[in-house]
């Protein structure tokens, strides 16, 4: 399924025009806001399904809310009725508060700024678009008979399409605001449920033979009396054994025979093991696998290379304007992959040192790639690479807000119709946004 193609078909010009009339915003700005919200909601749901709880929550909302795609077939007519439109908005905002908790306000602010509409309009659109997106997903669940795991897998199959569809100027703020770093970089994956919910999958018991749980009344027989006395005797023995055990342990503690340090050690080990288990199970903002553990801490002394020598005079000269672009020397990837070559770590560490030396410095990493393998695109690969470098800088202690990351594929625009052969690019550039 091409989710974004389906959504583009659903949000045709007539639908967008009716939405614009309802929120009292220009159609062009409304269209831009609708597109931004589609990317935001789909990306947010991808992130949500990286946890088992999120997978179950999304599936349950679709099932219990009866999001089966019925709205899509009559969407234009539904939007003619202000009362019905308001109901769709209310339901959508309620769902988004559960699926993306504490993010409604920040998403509204982001879309308001991006599309140039009022914040109240952005919040209304958020609720409406959420409802429609869930209907599109719900139709797939119904038609394909998907379970919760299948729905999560379906969402993640659209990851590269998301990277390719989002406009370059919107992608960095979307990633930072919704926290999609690991999703876009290809590190995060949909969670697999360990148990199946009985609410979504009824247990088939009709084919099993009926079992009677009516006990025979043997209270007036000798066997019944013996059974009762035997059970009573067992209860007495159990109580006596429990009392003796408590007495013995009480004596040990009172005589100082219990080794407290042993108990503490066991408890500590248990807690540590549980912590490790949970850290492996829950996605975190961790350095990529290609990084060594030692790379998380900057070296005590970094030898100045081309990057430091070239950038220092520029950063220390207040008369030189921002916006200059520098190449990142020595930062390369193994062809077709996200694995950095061994020599790349030194330059990344050096860039982290520059960012710490100049706390006002803000940069944008611009990636180019022409070596994408089958199953991905050069734009997706270029973005994943620069985002991986950004994650390494964050692991060094750099605030993620100071580093933007965008991927431009081969560097040859698809809008170029000149038919003039242009060389494709494979590199990482560094643009100074503020200094």
| pLDDT bracket for residue 15 (50, 70, 90) | very high
* Residues 165 and 41 sit within 8 Å (Cβ to Cβ): no
Strands 325-327 and 362-368, bridge-based pairing: unpaired
- Structural element, H or E, at residue 364: strand 362-368
Residue 227 has pLDDT above 80, yes or no: no
- Mean pLDDT, residues 71-87 taken together: 93
Q: What percent of the chain has pLDDT over 90?
A: 54
pLDDT score for 239: 63
Q: Of all helices (H) and strands (E), which one includes residue 53?
A: helix 52-64
Task: Give the tens place of pLDDT for each residue, 156-202.
Answer: 999 888 988 888 789 888 988 898 888 887 778 899 876 544 444 44
Model confidence at 36, pLDDT cuts 50, 70, 90, reads very high
Residue 301, token pair as written in the block = 């002394």
For the segment 331-386, what is each residue's pLDDT rounded down to a tens digit?
999 999 999 998 899 999 999 999 999 999 999 999 999 999 887 889 889 989 99
| Strand partners of residue 363 | 403, 432
pLDDT at 168: 79
Instruction: Determine phi and psi for 94, rounding to 5 degrees.
Output: -65, -40
**pLDDT at site 253:** 43
Domains of the chain, by residue range, sit at 3-185, 293-434
CA angle, 333 then 339 then 341, to 5°: 55
**Predicted confidence (pLDDT) per residue in 294-327, tens digit:** 445 554 334 445 899 999 999 999 999 999 999 9
pTM as predicted: 0.62
Q: What is the mean pLDDT of residues 58-77?
A: 93
Instruction: Work out the average pLDDT over 39-52.
Output: 95
Q: Structure tokens of 237? A: 């023995």
Does 280 have pLDDT greater than 50?
no
- Average pLDDT value for the chain: 79
The first and second tokens of residue 29, run together, are: 């700005």
Q: Is the pLDDT of residue 258 over 90?
A: no
Q: What is the largest CA-CA distance in the chain?
A: 106
pLDDT at 417: 74
Q: Which CATH superfamily is domain 293-434 in?
A: OmpA-like domain (3.30.1330.60)
């Amino acid at each position: 399924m091409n989710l974004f193609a389906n959504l583009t078909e659903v949000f045709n010009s007539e639908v967008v025009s009716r939405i614009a009339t309802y929120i009292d915003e220009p159609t062009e700005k409304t269209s831009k806001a609708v597109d931004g919200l589609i990317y935001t909601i789909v990306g947010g749901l991808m992130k949500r399904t990286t946890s088992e709880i999120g997978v179950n929550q999304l599936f349950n909302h679709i099932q219990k809310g009866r999001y089966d795609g019925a709205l899509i077939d009559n969407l234009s007519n539904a939007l003619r009725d202000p009362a019905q439109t308001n109901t769709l908005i209310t339901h959508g905002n309620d769902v988004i508060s559960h699926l993306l908790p504490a993010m409604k306000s920040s998403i509204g602010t982001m879309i308001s700024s991006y599309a140039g509409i009022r914040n109240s309009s952005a919040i209304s659109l958020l609720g409406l678009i959420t409802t429609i997106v869930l209907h599109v997903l719900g139709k797939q669940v119904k038609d394909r008979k998907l379970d919760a795991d299948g729905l999560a897998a379906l969402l993640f199959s659209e990851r590269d399409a998301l990277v390719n569809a989002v406009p370059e100027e919107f992608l960095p703020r979307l990633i930072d605001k919704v926290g999609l770093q690991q999703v876009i970089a290809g590190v995060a994956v949909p969670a697999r449920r360990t148990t199946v919910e009985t609410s979504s999958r009824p247990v088939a018991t009709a084919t099993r033979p009926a079992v009677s749980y009516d006990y025979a009344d043997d209270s007036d027989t000798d066997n019944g009396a013996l059974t009762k006395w035997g059970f009573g005797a067992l209860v007495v023995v159990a109580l006596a054994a429990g009392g003796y055990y408590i007495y013995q342990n009480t004596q040990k503690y009172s005589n100082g025979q219990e080794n407290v340090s042993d108990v503490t050690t066991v408890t500590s080990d248990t807690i540590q093991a549980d912590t490790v288990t949970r850290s492996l199970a829950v996605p975190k903002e961790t350095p990529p696998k290609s990084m060594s553990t030692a790379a998380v801490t900057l070296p005590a002394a970094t030898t100045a290379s081309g990057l430091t020598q070239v950038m220092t005079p520029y950063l220390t000269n207040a008369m030189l304007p921002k916006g200059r672009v520098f190449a990142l020397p020595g930062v390369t990837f193994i062809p077709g992959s996200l694995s950095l070559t061994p020599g790349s770590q030194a330059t990344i560490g050096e860039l982290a040192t520059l960012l710490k030396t100049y706390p006002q410095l803000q940069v944008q990493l611009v990636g180019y790639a022409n070596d994408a393998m089958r199953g991905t695109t050069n734009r997706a690969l270029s973005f994943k690479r620069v985002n991986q470098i950004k994650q390494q800088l964050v692991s060094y202690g750099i605030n993620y807000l100071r580093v933007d990351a965008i991927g431009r594929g081969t560097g040859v625009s698809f809008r170029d119709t000149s038919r003039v052969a242009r060389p494709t690019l494979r590199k990482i550039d560094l643009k100074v946004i503020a200094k």
